[in-house]
Structure 1
Amino acid sequence: MTVHQYSRISIFMIVLLSSSLCISDFCFLVSGYSLVQEPQTFYVSLSGNNENPGTVDQPWRTPSYGVSQLDAGDTLIILAGEYHLDGALHFETSANNEAPITLKGQNAILNAGGLSNDYANRDAIFLDYVDYINIENITVLDAPRSGIRISWSNHVTITNSTFGSNGKWGIFSDFSDHTIIDSCETYGSGEEHGIYLSNSGDYPIVRNCLVHDNYASGIQFNADPLMGGDGIISNGLIESNYVYRNGDGGGAAINLASVRDSVVQNNLLFDNAAGGIACWDDGNEGTNYGCKDNIFVNNLVTFEEGVGRSALQMIEGSTGNIALNNILIAGDSGDYALEIDATSSITSDYNIFYHLESIDIIWNDEQGITLDDWQELSNDLHSSLFEPSILFQNYLLDNYHHANESPAIDMGTENYAPVRDIDGFPRPYNEEVDIGPYEYSPFGSSTAPYDSTTSSKIPTDLPLTNLYVGLILLGVLCTLAWFHYKR
């Protein structure tokens, strides 16, 4: 065999190898993508029929039926109107990160007032052992127990939705990780909390929400140490929420039990009847389940005169916590701006304190003491005491933006401070950070919502990369072969 023949055979084998690479990857793409059922969008309408195919022209009639038909990647759009539910919306099909299931409303109201209070129907929307579910722009009213329950279900996101006048909770979760509640409103929970995330669910996020007029707490993260799991909620985020007029039945506006390594920032808590931010262990014996190693930064807690409990409370083994840039105002003479018991500790500085009815600002284990006494113990050395009337634009009308000459302006620290304020305005405006959830600007604050999440849509799958490389290599070798034969 001549050298020329060897050369031809070698080039042929290389071309064949490159072609095989491309063909194998093409087959992978066909089997992995093309043969999978395409995501579909279905519709529910008050004028629909469950015998229809669920298209926009022939929609289904009931939301519960629509939810039962969904597969991974599907979207169900509930068209405008008030739906009196005949049964709970029970999600039983799980999804994945690439193909979540989405329930989306278009001015849709789910009235759950006619549901029975049994296990299957007491929660208007029930997610049970399902992952990657998105709930958007839905209003849920009058459920026997909760507007939505997320049970043993991870990566559930609820956005731009309202949960009102439900029997026990607005939003409830148990044993569920990566729950995100963003830009929602919860109000009027009859027995307990507006938002209640429980049972060791890690990585919870509650942001940009209105939480008000609930009987107990506004937002409660309670790991329920005796209910199984590790008894700890870790890596949570509570930010930029307005929490007000909660707690007639007890329960702090933000109530934390056995919460660790979490951040509470940019929240505005006012006119609540019980505590402000409470950190404790849910009443378990010992100190193992207190709230530990959390950061409380740029929050405002205030009460009406003669009303409320402590603005920030650390008890029952709550240690390693940090409090910076907060405005903490106590309302009732029997409680304090900052409360710490003998089992707890805090690193606290650059805060503004005040008490509407007492000169004692801090409860230090067994006694109330003044801010001067507290600072003599080397605590809060850069913190101050100011009346609310000089801090805010209109304290009596619940306008808590900084007054033009507010002493809170430029008095904070950049340590742990969020990069935007509760209005979405960049922080700091000047060289120094302001104290409290608002950052002062003489030109007013931005109202742009703050979304700290980022995502990438760039495909990085290895088979797809191999296909591109193979095609390029094939083209180069074919060109070389053509020149070789032309010689």
Structure 2
Amino acid sequence: MTIEFLQHTLFFPMMIHGLGFLSLSASLVLPWALTGLVQGQKITESLVKDIRQSSPVQQMPLPSRKLISQVSTATTYYVSATGNDRNSGLTTSSAFKTIQRAADLTRPGDTVLIMNGEYRNAPGRGSVLSISRSGTANAWIKFKAYPGHSPKIRHNTWNGIGFAKRVSYIELNGLEVIGNNPNVTLGYALSQKSNSSNVLTNGNCINVDGRGGGGIHHVNILNNKVHDCGGAGISVAGADYVRVDNNTVYNNSWYSVFGTSGISFLQNWNSDGNQGYKMFITNNRAYNNRMYVPWIQRGTITDGNGIIVDISKRGTNGPYRGRTLIANNISYRNGGSGIHAHESEHVDIINNTAYLNQQSPELRRKGDIYGGYSSDIKIFNNIIYPSPGKNANTNVMNSNVTYDYNLYPNGAVVVVRGTHDVVGDPQFVNPSNGDFHLRSSSPAINRGYSWRGLTTDFEGTPRPSGSGYDIGADEYR
């Protein structure tokens, strides 16, 4: 353990993760009293089958789909912006006014349905929604948008949604979490670059932090829109069995003094000895997440990545033994890399699309998708389209990091090439408007590796739809 990491741990016991290419860790410590609590529920895993009998890489099968049973006494609570916390919360006409009121009553198997409206943090609270009650393996607690509704959680404090230590079996589904960026100027944020206690610039959208308290496990963060937080978009630290799926994460990490990113997993925690897939970052869209304020410990811009898995080699209770799947994500125009694993291991980065990342001028040679200081990383079937003059990938202090079946544009700076890589224009339909579907003449079609278990694309379309797997997050059809 380096002196720097010891200092980091001593001064910032509650990190919000994110990490620069050459930095050990960027973190945030929230005062214990301000730490948010959150609960969510696990979604099930897609059924998987072997596509090939023989494989050039050892692949880890995904767990099979299992139905989650609910206890017979489960309660559904309703929340409405026009409700009243003195109500029973048991019907739409007797809804609570705050999500927190319902959260404080939940027991295993309960569901909180949140109706249209805007929900804000009360003065002095560290989160709009603090989740401290756990579900069980057969009775998750769920916080969901009421069918057909689009509730908004808007905050100017440490977290829009925060989790207490040791919380488990929680689902967040269909919510919009909005931070304080629209009320902050870059000039003001830079004037606060040494202020680690300013909630107006450092707040996170969703913060799952189990470090120092025994860890958090079995959390699903699904179908949410997460944006405009000065700190992290979705931050997961000291946790196990977490799924971040089908979220849209943008305009985060702008003003925090901590090195944060759009979606980040930091120092995973071993809740058991399972070495299979336990962490999933899938089907997300991450863009315009960027650092404009230097990381306070380095004094430089280090992060603002679309997606990062960070220092799992030194997890909360030793090296993380589980495997992480990063698949079918679209990550573009972020300040840091599109996707990367830093000082981590046992990560598969498969069928993603990364486009014009490394927008921060300070970050030139990280790579749009890469592993650094890492081991046992597979980087297959990705479209990697870097900004002009920036690296597509890199290879620094790695062991057993394999790149293959990836597509790079002509002229890209590619440090590590695979035998089956493709070079050419991916022929996106309209990337300037965020449309990364493939045209019928794309060289990415039918050129990918048949990755066992990944049977759908970003939109749920079956893979393969032609004679072979396509490269990138989208399967042409």
Deviations 1:430-454 (A, max 9, x none): 43444444444xxxx2xxxxxxxxx
Going from structure 1 to structure 2, the CA distance change for 1:436 and 1:90 (only over 3 Å counts) comes to closer
Going from structure 1 to structure 2, the CA distance change for 1:64 and 1:396 (only over 3 Å counts) comes to closer
Going from structure 1 to structure 2, the CA distance change for 1:271 and 1:48 (only over 3 Å counts) comes to same
What TM-score results when the alignment is normalised by the length of structure 1?
A: 0.64
C-alpha deviation, 1:93, in angstroms: 1.4
> Counterpart of 2:59?
none
Question: d(CA) in 1 for partners of 2:400 and 2:84?
Answer: 58
- Residue number among 321, 331, 340 corresponding to 1:243 in the alignment: 331
Q: Which amino acid aligns with 1:159?
A: L
SS in 2 for 1:64: helix
Going from structure 1 to structure 2, the CA distance change for 1:69 and 1:435 (only over 3 Å counts) comes to closer
- Residue number among 371, 382, 385 corresponding to 1:279 in the alignment: 371
Question: d(CA) in 1 for partners of 2:221 and 2:342?
Answer: 23
> Counterpart of 1:99?
139
Going from structure 1 to structure 2, the CA distance change for 1:69 and 1:168 (only over 3 Å counts) comes to same
Q: Which amino acid aligns with 1:148?
A: I
Contact 2:108–2:141 (8 Å) recurs in 1: yes
Tell me, yes or no, if structure 1 residue 134 matches structure 2 residue 171.
yes
> Counterpart of 2:205?
147
Question: d(CA) in 2 for partners of 1:110 and 1:397?
Answer: 26
Unaligned runs of 5+ in 1: 1-32, 116-121, 282-289, 340-345, 354-385, 446-487
Tell me, yes or no, if structure 1 residue 51 matches structure 2 residue 80.
no
Q: 1:80-119 counterparts in 2 under 5 A?
A: 80-86=116-122, 87=125, 88=127, 89-105=129-145, 106-113=149-156, 115=157
Larger Cα Rg: Structure 1 or Structure 2? 1
| Percent of aligned pairs with the same amino acid | 24
Contact 1:392–1:403 (8 Å) recurs in 2: yes
C-alpha deviation, 1:258, in angstroms: 2.8
Question: d(CA) in 2 for partners of 1:423 and 1:83?
Answer: 30
Deviations 1:24-79 (A, max 9, x none): xxxxxxxxx99x88111111212222122112222211122221121111111121
Question: d(CA) in 1 for partners of 2:131 and 2:281?
Answer: 22
* Larger deviation, residues 405-414 vs 37-46: 405-414
> Counterpart of 2:381?
298
> Counterpart of 1:257?
342
Tell me, yes or no, if structure 1 residue 212 matches structure 2 residue 287.
yes
> Counterpart of 1:19?
none
> Counterpart of 2:455?
419
Tell me, yes or no, if structure 1 residue 321 matches structure 2 residue 321.
no
Deviations 1:390-412 (A, max 9, x none): x5556777655444444444444
Question: d(CA) in 2 for partners of 1:148 and 1:319?
Answer: 33
More helix by share: 1
Question: d(CA) in 1 for partners of 2:453 and 2:132?
Answer: 41
Going from structure 1 to structure 2, the CA distance change for 1:425 and 1:319 (only over 3 Å counts) comes to same
Count of aligned positions? 342
C-alpha deviation, 1:330, in angstroms: 7.6
Deviations 1:198-224 (A, max 9, x none): 112462211111111111101111126
Q: Root-mean-square deviation (CA), in Å?
A: 2.8
Q: Which amino acid aligns with 1:71?
A: R
Going from structure 1 to structure 2, the CA distance change for 1:327 and 1:133 (only over 3 Å counts) comes to same
Question: d(CA) in 1 for partners of 2:268 and 2:410?
Answer: 31
Unaligned runs of 5+ in 2: 1-68, 181-198, 210-214, 271-277, 291-303
C-alpha deviation, 1:160, in angstroms: 1.0
Q: 1:140-219 counterparts in 2 under 5 A?
A: 140-142=177-179, 144=199, 145-151=203-209, 152-189=215-252, 190=254, 191=256, 192-201=260-269, 203-215=278-290, 216-219=304-307
Tell me, yes or no, if structure 1 residue 266 matches structure 2 residue 351.
yes
Question: d(CA) in 2 for partners of 1:304 and 1:178?
Answer: 34
